[in-house]
Amino acid sequence: MIKIPVQDKRIIFPVFVMILFCTTIVAGLIGTILPSLNYLPVIGHTQVSLSVWFDFFSYPGIQTSIFVTLFSGITASFVVVSLVFLFISVSHGNALWKFFEKILSPVLSIPHAAFAVGFGFLIAPSGWLIRLVSPLLTGFNTPPDWILLNDPAGISLTIALVIKEFPFLIMVTMGAMGQLDIKKTLFVARALGYKKEQIWLKILIPRLYPHLRLSIFAVIAYSLSVVDMAILLGPSAPSSLSVLILKWFNDPDVNFKLLASAGSLFLFFIVLLSIFFVYLLERAARVFLRPWITNGNRSSFVTLFKPMISFTGICIIIFTIISSVILVIWSFSWQWRFPDFLPATWTLKFWAKGLVSSFDPVMTTLFTGGASAFLGLLLTIGCLEYAVNSNQNRIGQNRIGQNKTLQNKAKNYTKYIHYFLYLPLLVPQITFMAGIQLLLVIMKMDGYWITLMGSHMLFVLPYMFIALSATYLSFDKRVTDQAIFLGRSYTRVLFTIKLPMLLKPILFSFAIGFSVSVAQYIPTMLVGAGRFSTITTEVVNIASGSDRRIMAVYALIQQCLPLIMFAMAIIIPKILYYNRKGMQV
């Protein structure tokens, strides 16, 4: 009997991930396409036609919804990408960049809905920013009649998307920098007389962009299809297209599900066209920017705007932090009249009430987030282990010809696995999740916790892979090779040497996966079939009320869950390796 090598067994992980992601996305799209063509037998629609599409384009206010979606999504994506590239070129290596490296994880852990609530408290006509200058500079003794929040054009939503997506793209860029030799490039280019900003714009960013392409596409897809932030900050009459689609899905009249399917498919087309347009811009940039890159000019126009770019990056962090601070103040306030800068009286009443009423949603969030992050971690480590060992010749595995065909196929799986991992991030959530919901209803599998957890894992796994891959793949292979030389098995070396040495990045990856699960709104609403409420769904639901204090309590609870996980990721290695300083780095 031929014993299957360990390398061949590890192929199970990438194959499983690729099959899972492909089948889920395809099934979801099929479940969306058929109802958009008026075919949904469970509610009596069996005649294929385009009538649903005519109803969609003739729906009142649909043109405005499409405009708001395009304006907020495209503008936010363009500003984020441009700002990230400029910020890297002026701040990499200085004190500001080091500060970003330290504060990035806590900032990223803030869920989108919680940030949106705090940001709304800041910019509202009665918000903290106007209170700061009133009545001394403005003369306002009552809130002005300004549409700063939920404005018709979606400007407040666009600004919030820029602030929230900027740290994510910075994190991805930091991971991608490990693929380039930054120090040597800067050293050689400076020796030729180039300034740092010019080196980044002409040499490093063009080389870095291919590693960021999928992440940029993911930012575009999210900005165009965001739901929870659009509900909290976007216009309401009419709303953005994604919010309108969710409204149709939740309508008591089941015939609106056909309209929602057409809308979600149209949103998918918008995302595809936007990504294709960016791809064409890439090709055009190669032609039109080549003379500028090769002209030998050592000066850089970015130098003139260096203080402004650095200040913008600082403002993004400040706004993120202040949005959390204002939530804390509102959660303890009892009487707070405009234009007072701070409440006149304080209370713990709303915390006592909120902690009791949010117990069940918090427990659901903890179990779902913990389970999806744990399974995502197993799959991530399995895929990375396969990637490491399929690209290098493992000790003791140089038997010529043994399962050679299988190993050649495995290398192809490793090469393309990150494309499959990005699929749920590139396809709008509401597009394929709506189709999955319809299929689950037909199979009578909707509303189960296991399907809810699985839907969360689809979005948890890509972020965990992004967070862990750079550190995991750069692990010094000589450590494990030496242990294998001494006669230890591969499994024992993995669990007693490699994973303990990588404990800190593994725990950080788990914390990121958990925070992603906490932030999921669409999967919980659609796949959960209304039987499960998480802290995120409660935050969005409560936001439709008028009591800011209850909103602040729930938003802070939502923020605290990921922060606790990140705190544990820092503390646990310090406790386990208190006598091994090098293991705590």
What is the pLDDT at residue 24? Answer: 85
> In which element (H, E) is residue 346 found?
strand 345-346
State the DSSP H helix or E strand holding residue 345, giving kind and residue range, or none if neither: strand 345-346
Nearest C-alpha neighbor of 547 from the set 555, 535, 536, 559: 555
Answer yes or no: is pLDDT of 362 > 70.
yes
Question: Lowest-pLDDT range, 140-144, 295-299, 395-399?
Answer: 395-399
pLDDT at 378 over 90: yes
pTM of the complete model: 0.88
Is the pLDDT at 3 greater than 60, yes or no? no
Report the candidate in 256, 180, 181 with the shortest Cα–Cα distance to residue 211. 180
* CA–CA distance, 222 with 74 (Å, rounded to integer): 10
Domain 1-27+350-585 matching CATH 1.10.3720.10: the answer reads yes
Q: Choose the weakest-confidence range: 1-5, 367-371, 511-515.
A: 1-5
Backbone angles phi, psi at 170, to 5 degrees: -65, -40
- Of the candidates 187, 312, 313, which has an alpha carbon nearest to the alpha carbon of residue 196? 187
Rama region for 45: left / alpha / beta (φ>0; ψ in -120 to 50; rest): beta
Cα–Cα separations (whole angstroms), residue 298 to 70, 93, 189, 191, 255: 38, 20, 10, 11, 63
b/e per residue, 325-360, with b = 16+ CB within 10 A?
ebbebbbbbeebebbeeebeeeeeebbeebeeebee
CA distance 109 to 59: 38
Q: How high is the pLDDT of residue 416?
A: 65
Tens-place pLDDT, residues 34-91: 888 888 887 777 888 888 999 999 999 899 999 999 999 999 999 999 999 999 988 8
Coil, strand, or helix at residue 335?
strand
Instruction: Confirm if 483 and 493 have CB atoms less than 8 A apart.
Output: yes
| Residue-level pLDDT at 396 | 42
Q: For the segment 110-131, what is each residue's pLDDT rounded down to a tens digit?
A: 888 889 999 998 998 888 888 8
CA distance 449 to 367: 10
Q: Are 154 and 216 spatial neighbours (Cβ–Cβ below 8 Å)?
A: no
55 touches 259 (CB < 8 A): yes
Tell me the torsion sign for CA atoms 43, 47, 53, 55: negative
Q: Buried (b) or exposed (e) across 487-522, using 16+ Cβ within 10 A? A: eeebeebbeebbeebbbbbbbbbbbbbbbbbbbbbb
The C-alpha atoms of residue 233 and residue 119 are separated, in whole angstroms, by 9
User: Half-sphere exposure (CA, 13 Å, Cβ side) for 490?
Assistant: 13
Q: Phi/psi of residue 45, each to 5°?
A: -100, 105
Q: Give the chain's length.
A: 585
Is residue 41 packed enough to be buried (19+ CB in 10 Å), middle (13-18) or exposed (0-12)? Answer: exposed
Q: For position 328, what pLDDT does the model report?
A: 92
The predicted model gives 385-395 an average pLDDT of 62
- Chain segment 508-562, per-residue pLDDT in tens: 999 999 999 998 888 888 888 778 889 998 988 887 766 888 989 999 999 999 9
383, containing H or E segment = helix 359-390
Q: Per DSSP, what are the bridge partners of residue 346?
A: 333
Instruction: Give the torsion sign (CA, 373, 511, 178, 574).
Output: negative
Instruction: Quote the CA–CA distance of 157 and 68 in Å, as a whole number.
Output: 10
- Between CA 81 and CA 313 the distance in angstroms is 13
Q: What is the 3-state secondary structure (H, E, C) of 253-318?
A: CCCHHHHHHHHHHHHHHHHHHHHHHHHHHHHHHHHHCHHHHCCCCCCCHHHHHHHHHHHHHHHHHH
CA angle 312, 314, 319 (to 5 degrees): 95
- Exposure string of 386-401, with b = 16+ CB inside 10 Å and e = fewer, is bbbbbeeebeeeeeee
Per-residue pLDDT reduced to its tens digit, 228-282: 899 989 888 788 999 999 889 888 888 888 898 999 999 999 999 999 999 999 9
- Token digits for 216? 């940029």
Please write the tens of the pLDDT for every residue from 280-312: 999 998 888 888 877 777 777 777 788 898 899
Partner residues linked to 335 by β-bridges? 345
CA atoms within 13 A on the CB side of 441: 19
The DSSP annotation for 139-203 comes to --SS------SS-TT-HHHHHHHHHHHHHHHHHHHHHHGGGS-HHHHHHHHHHTT--HHHHIIII
Domain 72-239+270-347 has CATH 1.10.3720: yes
Name the more confident of 44 and 357.
Answer: 357
Q: Cβ contacts of residue 379 below 8 Å, gap of 6+?
A: 13, 16, 17, 461
d(CA 558, CA 92): 32
Residue ranges of the domains in the chain?
1-27+350-585, 72-239+270-347
Using alpha carbons, list the distances in angstroms from residue 422 to 129, 253, 426, 464. 38, 34, 6, 12
pLDDT per residue as tens digits for the range 316-353: 999 999 999 999 999 999 988 888 888 889 999 999 99
What mean pLDDT comes out for the span 428-455?
A: 82
Q: Which two tokens stand for residue 117?
A: 């609530």
CA distance 351 to 334: 11
Both tokens assigned to 341: 């800068």
pLDDT of residue 531: 82
In the chain, the percentage of residues whose pLDDT exceeds 70 is: 92
Domain 1-27+350-585 and domain 72-239+270-347, same fold? Reply is yes
Q: Distance between the two ends of the chain, CA-based, in angstroms? A: 46
> For position 338, what pLDDT does the model report?
86
What are 402-432's pLDDT values in tens digits? 444 444 444 444 456 767 788 888 888 888 8
Q: Give one DSSP letter per residue of 24-79, joined into a string.
A: HHHHHHHHHHHHHTT-BGGGTB-S--SHHHHHHHTSTTHHHHHHHHHHHHHHHHHH
Q: Are 554 and 352 in contact (CB under 8 A)?
A: no
